[in-house]
Copies of this chain bind each other. A is one copy, B any other.
Amino acid sequence: MKVTINDVAKQAGVSIKTVSRVMNNEPSVRKDTFDKVMAAINELHYQPNSAARNLASTRSYSIGYIYDNPNAYYIIDMQKGLLDSCKKHGYELLIHPTNAKSPGIVEEVKELVSKSRLAGLILTPPFSEMPHIAQALEEMKVDFVRIVSGSTPSPGVHNCVLIDDFTAAFKITNHLLELGHTEIAFLCGDEEHSSSGERLAGFKAALTKRGLQVNPKFIVPGHYSFESGVEGAKKLMTLPKKPTAIFACNDEIAAGALFSARLMNIRIPEQLSIAGFENSPFSRQTWPPLTTAHQPNSIIASQAAELLFKHTRPNANKAQINAQPVFIPELLVRESTCPASC
């Protein structure tokens, strides 16, 4: 019933050690031996027992994903991408939702790593931006890959996947500018998330490039939440000089702004254009559907996992790995934005 390494060894006519070598792609296996073993593995549908591997080996075959993000769609997409890569490389994924602001968070992460003997970790914001987390992990000598907002790879850093929020925000703002808007407001996300800062920077850069002033009253601090969008839009639309377009830091905020506009009987997009960011499924389902920027989350996640596996692989030369993939979210024009004079 259960196929073990012994069965494979017998079938291939080699020692179990050689099978082990093949399984872990260790060097020093002759091509024909390798093929013999592979044939036996396939024939018997051999699946190494991960418990035994974990026990015998210093390294383990599971990685962790720590997150604290209210955006369920984002998380599900991330999990999907991570699972794809894990499956491909025979790893297990342990998910760990938690509260990033809890005081004992570093201890919690450390305990998770040591208890589950994780081979590595994937961090998304806000964890990817917490220096004490990164530091603790480095001290523990655990590999990890961070998914962070940024456009330019930093030299020497080999464990990052970058999301170019700056450029994407620049593009969205440009879209609004091209529609003839000049009075454009910005609804910020959480300050702790650098994505919010990057998007704001992209927004400002686009305005500046057109020779427009950035009106500080049009930059509203807030959070990545629907409620924040409701509040922010309310604040903006009761200003003596109102914006004709709002760029919200994500779709939830945009949805909140939409909601708020409706409360104030402001027609979207005729009287006010609203753009979001992220392309959450519900951005197609608001009324009107949101202009936004699309982020291929599960692809990003699986790339992050691939990067991690490159590190954790026994014979990996870490210095050699300096790829820092950069993803630029794409502009997606829908019905929540229209020309300024419309």
A interface, CB within 8 angstroms of B = 2, 47, 49-55, 60, 72-73, 75-76, 79-80, 83, 92-97, 114-117, 226, 255-256, 258-259, 262, 281-282, 284-285, 287
Which residue of the partner chain, among B73, B76, B83, B116, contacts A92 with CB atoms under 8 Å? Answer: B116
Nearest-Cβ distance from residue A221 to partner chain B, whole angstroms: 21
User: In this complex, what residue of B is CB-closest to A49?
Assistant: B55
CB atoms of A80 and B92 under 8 A apart: no
Nearest-Cβ distance from residue A148 to partner chain B, whole angstroms: 23
CB atoms of A95 and B92 under 8 A apart: no
CB atoms of A55 and B47 under 8 A apart: no
Bound CA–CA A305/B14 (angstroms): 44
Which residue of the partner chain, among B52, B95, B117, B287, contacts A83 with CB atoms under 8 Å? Answer: B95
Residues of B within 8 A of A258 (CB): 287
Residues of B within 8 A of A51 (CB): 50-55, 60, 117
Which residue of the partner chain, among B54, B55, B97, B116, contacts A79 with CB atoms under 8 Å? Answer: B97
Bound CA–CA A114/B80 (angstroms): 22
Residues of B within 8 A of A53 (CB): 51
Interface centre among A2, A281, A287 (most CB of B within 10 A): A287
Residues of B within 8 A of A255 (CB): 282, 285
A79-B95 contact, Cβ under 8 Å, with A226-B285, A255-B285, A285-B226: yes
Bound CA–CA A47/B115 (angstroms): 7
Residues of B within 8 A of A76 (CB): 72, 75-76, 97
**Sample of 18 more A-B contacts, CB < 8 Å, known A2-B114, A92-B116:** A47-B115, A49-B55, A50-B51, A51-B117, A55-B55, A72-B75, A72-B76, A79-B97, A80-B97, A83-B96, A83-B97, A92-B94, A93-B94, A93-B95, A226-B285, A255-B282, A262-B287, A282-B282
Residues of B within 8 A of A256 (CB): 285
